[in-house]
Amino acid sequence: MKTISTLSNSPGEDGKMFQPTLVHPEKELRVSYSKKGALAKTKTGTREILIFIVDDDPMYTKALEHSILDKIPSVKIKTFQTGEACLQQIKQKPDVVILDYYLDSKVSYAWNGLTILKQIKKLYPKIKVVMLSVQDSLDVAVKCIENGSYDYIPKSESAFVRINNVLQNIIGDINSNEKAVKPYQVVGIIIIIILILSFLLIKF
Amino acid sequence: METITHKHIDLTYLKQLSNGSNEFINEMITVFMEQTPIEISNLEKYLEAKDWKSLRAIAHKMKPSFSFMGMKELDSLIKLIEEYASNETNLDQLPEMIARTKNICNEAIKELEIEQKSFL
């Protein structure tokens, strides 16, 4: 497993080096629990979905967080103002990272969203990353999708609706994958049946 | 509740987004009132330093805030500031545009102070 320290020697997309001490993660980390409280399992028995939001715009972050919890109250959300702070916590393996493309308004040398996307996909390819940008640019969208982004959503007035739809789809996929019978479970069942049959054959 | 019409702000979108949560509207207004003067002073700082890249980054980030507060005039003004800084064109117009942004924001903050009382 690659660790965060392996990132420190590689420059970002724009040549900027990884800054692990950019902002102490605990200082900027905010955790929002669902309206029903922090539950390991939801009422339906599915596990709680963890979402990271990475955006250096506190107003947008707050509005997005509110919108998600309003529509999908069972999720847990953590917010970060820089991608570097998000990477420091990525070992928590969020199910989804909602990542803004431009992250350098507060810290000019902060890595942009594309660099953070690449690092997340390198460390944990299964994490779904949804990219956001005020800029509705096809070039940026293509770059993000090529680098493994699950979706690219421009920050328009309909963005929250789109984000919530994408999240519902991802959560649906996660839940159905977890409910589906895994290959090892099939093998286990076959072994048990063989053992029972063998026992019956020996006995009778 | 009586709706007051303001010159610069229109909270229709924010109210729609809040889904009836006054706490959320109140928090958003507070963040705007705290954040905007800092962003404006950064715009002025980068204008003075002719740091167009940083000025563009700040202008870019301010756009959603103006949309949340229904500030249509600033919505288009900040887009132009971003465009001029990004392309490094019409730079002579930036000081006046930033001064106008500052004035409108100051007036908008006064309007928000009035509006916020109804959400406390």
- For each of chain B's 120 residues, which pLDDT tens digit applies? 556 788 899 999 999 999 899 999 999 999 999 999 999 999 999 999 999 999 998 998 899 999 999 999 998 999 999 999 999 999 999 999 999 999 999 999 999 999 888 877
Average model confidence (pLDDT) across chain A: 81
The percent of residues above 90 in pLDDT, for chain A, comes to: 50
- Who has greater pLDDT, B89 or A174? B89
* A28 vs B114, residue with greater confidence: B114
Query: Within an 8 Å CB–CB cutoff, is residue A104 touching chain B?
Result: yes
Whole-angstrom distance, CA of residue A74 vs CA of residue A40: 10
Q: Tokens 């942004």 belong to which residue?
A: B101
Q: What is the CATH number assigned to the segment(s) B12-117?
A: 1.20.120.160
Return the pLDDT at A71: 92
| Highest mean pLDDT out of A158-162, A184-188, B41-45 | B41-45
Of the candidates A113, A114, A120, the residue with the CA atom closest to the CA atom of residue A95:
A120
Confidence of residue A54 (pLDDT cuts 50, 70, 90): very high
pLDDT band at A21 (very low <50, low <70, confident <90, very high): very low
Q: Where are the domains of chain A?
A: 4-203
Contacts with B31 from chain A: Cβ below 8 Å: 58-59, 62
pLDDT-derived band at A14, boundaries 50, 70, 90 = low
Query: Is a pLDDT exceeding 80 seen at residue A187?
Result: yes
Q: How far is CA B91 from CA B9, B34, B59, B95, B99, in A?
A: 28, 28, 14, 8, 14
Selection from B88, B76, B98, B99 nearest residue B51 by Cα: B88
pLDDT value at A5 more than 80:
no
Most confident of A31-35, A104-108, B18-22: B18-22
Dist CA B26 CA B118 (whole Å): 9
pLDDT value, residue A17:
52
Q: Does residue A6 have a pLDDT over 80?
A: no
Q: Under an 8 A CB cutoff, do A60 and B64 touch?
A: yes
Predicted pLDDT of residue A31: 56
How big is the A-B interface in CB pairs under 8 Å?
51
pLDDT band for A135, please (50, 70, 90 cuts).
confident
Q: Where are the beta strands (DSSP E) in A69-196?
A: 76-80, 96-100, 128-133, 151-154
Widest CA span of chain B, in angstroms? 47
Say how far apart CA A152 and CA A139 lie, in whole Å.
11
DSSP A130-162: EEEESS--HHHHHHHHHTT-SEEEE-STTHHHH
pLDDT of the residue at A105: 76
* Chain B contact for A14 (CB, 8 A cutoff): no
pLDDT at A168: 94
pLDDT of amino acid A30: 58
CB distance A59–B28 less than 8 Å?
yes
Q: Which of A59, A72, A103, A105 to mutate to test the interface with B (most CBs of B within 10 A)?
A: A59
More confident residue, A11 or A201: A201
Please, what's the largest Cα pairwise distance for chain A?
A: 78
Residue recorded with tokens 């339906």 = A44
Predicted pLDDT at A45: 60
User: With bands split at pLDDT 50, 70 and 90, how would you rate the model's confidence at A118?
Assistant: very high
Indicate whether A44 pLDDT > 70.
no
pLDDT classification of A36: cutoffs 50, 70, 90: very low
Pick A58's closest partner by Cβ from B35, B57, B60: B35
CATH number 3.40.50.970 given to A4-203: no
Residue predicted with more confidence, A8 or B47: B47
Helix, strand, or coil (residue A42): coil
Average pLDDT, integer, range A122-132 = 96
